[in-house]
A and B are shown apart, each in its own frame.
Chain A
């Protein structure tokens, strides 16, 4: 699957659920939302090999 984070694309072979993916990138579910094939998904969503995944940071400062 293709995973986009902060404008960079990462290729991940192994299927996994969203929780595991966030852990792999050391991200918190409190600070990131996950979009799969243009749809928002919950942490238990199972990701497939052909999925396009986008990790969206929700925290802004200033």
Chain B
């Protein structure tokens, strides 16, 4: 296969676009796609302060890398779930890229606060680990924005993540979530940061290729608790469709984005947690309830890596 742009040997075929590209032209293509998504959906405005939710995986490390290459200065935040070597290795990879990008990263260590890992916390509150993890991550990542002055939280959700979640919401007709999939989620001044997803239209395969070509050292291993995650089943079904009908996932999500323009959101009355101010549906948010349950008075705090970096040093590209 030859690169559609330069005619040299191609390194990746993009069947949904009916094309193939060499490494250099693919890098340009993907970064432009991210940049176009940011512009089209007004994800980032001038004077926004950005922080990227990083996990050590290909998507979050790549979006962090891309944003800084595109000239958007962004720091990182990582929630260390306390899952043995997996969490330790993830953090090492994050620190490495933070150093390369000359940006700092805030780290919340679950074991420091709860004196146990995510699996034990989940067992205690009778939730599956993914559910407890999601709840804590959403809270902590918002908290770092509010406390440290970032008004936009960037996540590495990609096209496949969004298509799988949409499929799940459709299958079970979860109306409360159905119309909330978007490249951006509005914030609430002083309570909730704005969330943006610049990889909304980039597939998981494209993101893995980008990370490999760019030399981004990400963690290949899967979170040990995600093995039975429903999202993996949905992704498998969607990839089977994609195999026979290239472009299905992209059309699914693009069609949805057109639909939500006229769709109506089903919303409940939002209140704010009496203890911390986080949006919730009762008098106290789930995180404050969790802290109470474990009799924890130490509130959320972060370690910071790369805080002593020379900010005037030229950004590495």
Contact with A along B197-213 (1 / 0, CB 8 A): 00000001101110011
Number of A-B residue pairs with CB-CB distance less than 8 Å in the complex they form: 74
User: Within 8 Å of chain B (Cβ to Cβ): is A44?
Assistant: yes
Are A42 and B232 closer than 8 Å at their CB atoms?
no
Q: Cβ of B23: which chain A residues have Cβ within 8 Å of it? A: 40
Contact with B along A18-55 (1 / 0, CB 8 A): 00000000001111010100011111100000000000
Chain B contributes a number of interface residues (CB within 8 A of A) equal to: 35
User: Within 8 Å of chain A (Cβ to Cβ): is B5?
Assistant: no
Interface residues of B, dominant DSSP? helix
Are B239 and A59 closer than 8 Å at their CB atoms?
yes
Given contacts A41-B11, A42-B13, A62-B133, contact A56 B208 (CB under 8 A): yes
Task: Tell me the chain B residues, 120-179 only, with Cβ under 8 Å from chain A.
Answer: 130, 133, 160
User: Within 8 Å of chain A (Cβ to Cβ): is B226?
Assistant: yes
User: Within 8 Å of chain A (Cβ to Cβ): is B17?
Assistant: no
Chain A's nearest CB lies how many Å from the CB of B136?
A: 13
Chain A's nearest CB lies how many Å from the CB of B296?
A: 25
User: Within 8 Å of chain A (Cβ to Cβ): is B309?
Assistant: no
Interface size class of A (residues with CB under 8 A): 10 to 19
Chain B's nearest CB lies how many Å from the CB of A41?
A: 6
Q: Cβ of B33: which chain A residues have Cβ within 8 Å of it? A: none
User: Within 8 Å of chain A (Cβ to Cβ): is B102?
Assistant: no
Are A29 and B243 closer than 8 Å at their CB atoms?
yes
Q: Cβ of B207: which chain A residues have Cβ within 8 Å of it? A: 58
Output the nearest chain B residue to A59 by Cβ-Cβ distance.
B235
Q: Cβ of A33: which chain B residues have Cβ within 8 Å of it? A: 12, 205, 208-209, 212
Output the nearest chain B residue to A29 by Cβ-Cβ distance.
B243
Interface residues of A (CB under 8 A from B): 28-31, 33, 35, 39-44, 56-62
Interface residues of B (CB under 8 A from A): 1, 10-13, 20, 23, 57-59, 130, 133, 160, 204-205, 207-209, 212-213, 220, 222-223, 225-227, 229, 231-232, 235-236, 239-240, 242-243
Other A-B pairs, 6, CB within 8 Å; known A28-B243, A33-B208, A60-B223: A40-B23, A42-B13, A43-B13, A56-B212, A56-B220, A61-B223
